[in-house]
Chain A
Amino acid sequence: MTVTDPIDPIDPIDPIDPTDQPGQLAPYVEFAGVHKHYGPNHVLRGIDLDIGHHEVVCFIGASGCGKSTLLRCVNALEEIQQGQIRVAGEAASGPGVDVDFLRRVVGIVFQGYNLFPHMTVLRNITLAPTKVLKLPEAEARGRAMTLLERIGLADKANEYPDRLSGGQQQRVAIARALAMEPEVMLLDEITSALDPALVGEVLAMVRELVEEGMTILMATHEMGFARDVANRICFMSEGNLAEVGTPDEIFHDPRDERLRTFLRRVTEARRM
C-alpha cells in the first residue's frame, strides 16, 4: 500500500528557535540611505537596514507607509532616487544594476497573485525556468511538478488559475517564484487579498520556507505570524523605519510612540 500524501499545507510547523539569531552573518540585503519619490510623494525617506542571509524580516505598518515599495525596490521593479541597495554584494539599484542576476537571486510574490490567466498552472511555473534559465522543457516540468506535489496541488497542474481558490492561486504564485530557485524571497502582503479561511494554507507554506532557511523580506498585516516567524520586525511609518527589533522588543516593549498607537489600534480591531 503506497500512499503518497501531499504535504498538508495547514500542518502546523514549530516556529524557529528564537535564540538562533543570524545577526552575526554578513549582510545579504543592504539598504543604505534609500530615498524614493513618486513625483511629489516622498515614499521612502532614508532607509538604512542590513539583512543577513537566512534572516526573516517582517515589515509592518499602516497601508501606504512604504513597505511594499521598499520590497519592490529590492528586485528593481521600482527605481530609487538616492542611496544604495545591495543584494548578495551586488548593486541592486542605480544604472549599473545587473537585472538578470538580481531577478534570479530574488523572487517576489504579490498581494494579487499576478498569475498569468491564459496559462495553465503548470505553464505558469515552467515559463520562467524554460525561457530565462533555458532549462529543457522536461526538466522544468519535473521541477514544477515536484513543487506542486509539495504544496498538494499536483492535481491542479493543468487547470487555469481562475478555477483555483485564492489560497491555491497564491500558493501557485509562491511555487512559481520558487521554481527559479531564488536566494531571497520578497513577500508583498501575500495574504491581504485572501479570504480569512485561506490565509492559513499560505502562511503554512511560508513557514516551510522559513524552516528551509530562505532569506525572507515580508510585508504583512499578520502580526501573530510575524511574531512567530520573524527574526526581526521593522515598523515603518511615513517612509521611515520607525523602529526595528526582535518580535519581543516590538510587541512587548515598543518605544516609538507611533508604533504604540499602531499596535493599540491593531489590538482594538481584533477585539471588535
Chain B
Amino acid sequence: MTESTVTVPPTAPERLRATRPRVRTRLGSSVVSLAVAVAVVALTWWSLLAFRASFADGAPWPVTVVVAVLAAAGLAVPASGVLAVQAALRARSLDRAGQHATARVAAARARDMQWYVLGFGLTALVVAFLTFLIGTNDGSVREVFFRWDITKKSFRGLAEAFWLNIKIFMATEVLVLVWALLVAVVRRIPGRAGAPIRFLAVAYVDVFRGLPAILVLTLVVFGFQLAKLPGLSLLAPEQQLFWLVVLALTLVYGAYVAEVYRAGMDSIHWSQSAAARSLGLSQGQTLRYVIIPQGVRRMVPPLLNDFIGLQKDTALASVVGTVEVFNKANLYKSQFFNLTAVAVAGLLFLIMTIPLARFTDWLIRRDQQRMQVG
C-alpha cells in the first residue's frame, strides 16, 4: 500500500462555493422590465395626449404645462429599466472576468432598478388611468366636474357660504371642548353617590353616539323650532337656525369627544394620581393639574380626527335649510346643470382640513421634543 493520502472533508464555505450557482446577473429580468417600462410610458403618454386633446377649443396653457410635466416624469420608468439592463450587463462581464463579488454588487443594483420600474410604473399607470377617466368621452367627465367658467362664477358665492360653515364649526368646536370635558369628568365621579349622575353621562354618550347626526339635526332644529322652545324667540330667525345647528352638532360630537377625553385620562398611569393625592392635592386638583394636562397631550390626535369629522359634517346643516356651502353648491348645480360648484366646495373643505392636520402633527412633535429631548 502506498502512502495513503488523507482526504480532508471540504469545509462549509468550500462546499457552498462548489454547489452554489454562479452570480445571477439578472440580465433576463432586466430586459423584461425595460420592455414593460417602455410599454407603460407609451400608455401613459397616450392617455395624457388624449386628455389634452379632449379640450374642444384647445387646452389652456396650465393644462399643457401639467401634461408636459407628467409626461416628463413618466420618463423615469424606462430610465430605470435602462439602468437595470446596464447594471445587469456589467454584472455579466464582471462575472465572466472572474470578479464575482463586484459582479454581485452590480447585479444587486440591477435588481434595485427593477423595483424602481415597478414602483414608478404602477404610479404612472394610476395617473394614466385617472387622466383617461377625466378626459374620456371627449372630456365630458372633466366638463361635469371642473369647468373653469363655472368655477369663476360660483366661487364668490361658495366662499361666502363656506364662511357660515366655518362659523358653525368654530362655535361648535368651542362648545364641544367644554361640554365633553364636563361629561368625561362626570363619568369619573367616584363612589355610590355619584352613580346616578354617572349613569346619565353614560346614557348620553350611548344615545348620541348611536344616532345618525343627520337625524339629530332634524330632530333638534325642526323640533325645537316647532315646539317654540322658550327663550328661542329672543333670537332673530337666522340666529335661531344657526344656534340650533350648533346645539345639535355639539350634542353629537360631544358624545364622541367625551370618549376621547375619557380614554386620554384613563391612559395616565394611576401612579401619577397616587403621587398627586399623596402630596395633598384633592381629587379635583389632581384632575386639573396632573391628569388632564397630560391626558390632553395624548388626546390631540383623536381629537383632531373628530374635529375634521365635525368640519365635514357642518355640511349636514344643509338638511335643515341652512345656506351653507353644500346647499349653495347644490343651487349652482341646478342652475348650471354641472357639478363644478360641488367640487369647488369640496376643495374649500380640503383647504381647511389639511392644514389643521399638519398643524396638529407639528404640535405633537414640538411637545414631544420639549418633554424628552428639550
User: Which A residues contact B (CB, under 8 angstroms)?
Assistant: 72, 75, 77, 100, 103-104, 106-108, 110, 112, 114-118, 127-128, 131-133, 159-160, 162-163, 176-177, 180
Contact = CB atoms under 8 A, between A and B. Distances in A.
A110 B276 CA distance: 12
Contacts of B370: 160
B279 interface: yes
Contacts of A160: 370-372, 374
Contacts of B294: 116-118
B371 A162 contact: yes
A99 to B, nearest CB: 8
A117 B271 CA distance: 12
Contacts of B177: none
B281 interface: yes
B280 A132 contact: yes
Given A116-B290, A118-B294, A131-B285, A162 B372 contact: yes
Contact of B272 (A75, A116, A177): A116
A117 B371 CA distance: 7
A243 to B, nearest CB: 29
B274 interface: yes
A118 B371 CA distance: 7
Nearest to B290: A116
Contact of B289 (A72, A75, A106, A127): A127
Listed from nearest, the 7 A-B pairs whose CB atoms lie closest are A114-B275, A128-B279, A132-B280, A103-B280, A108-B278, A114-B271, A162-B372
24 contacts: A103-B277, A106-B278, A107-B279, A112-B271, A114-B271, A114-B272, A115-B275, A116-B289, A116-B290, A116-B294, A118-B293, A127-B279, A128-B279, A131-B285, A132-B280, A132-B281, A132-B285, A159-B374, A160-B371, A162-B371, A162-B372, A176-B279, A177-B279, A180-B280
Contacts of A127: 279, 281, 289
Contacts of A180: 279-280
Given A132-B281, A163-B374, A114 B289 contact: no
A43 to B, nearest CB: 17
Nearest to B374: A163
Contacts of A108: 278
Given A159-B374, A162-B371, 4 more contacts: A114-B271, A127-B289, A132-B281, A133-B280
Chain B interface size band reads 20 to 34
A114 B280 contact: no
A160 B368 CA distance: 11
Given A100-B280, A131-B285, A116 B275 contact: yes
B371 A75 contact: no
Residue of A115, A118, A180 with most chain B CB atoms under a 10 A cut-off: A118
Interface in B356-374: 370-374
Nearest to A131: B285
A75 B285 contact: no
A128 B280 contact: yes
Contacts of B147: none
Given A114-B272, A116-B290, A131 B281 contact: yes
A176 B279 CA distance: 8
B277 A77 contact: yes
Contacts of A133: 280
Contacts of A110: 271, 274-275
Nearest to A127: B289
Interface in B198-252: none
Interface in B108-151: none
B297 interface: yes
A116 B289 CA distance: 9
Contacts of A162: 371-372
Most buried by B among A72, A116, A133: A116
A103 B275 CA distance: 11
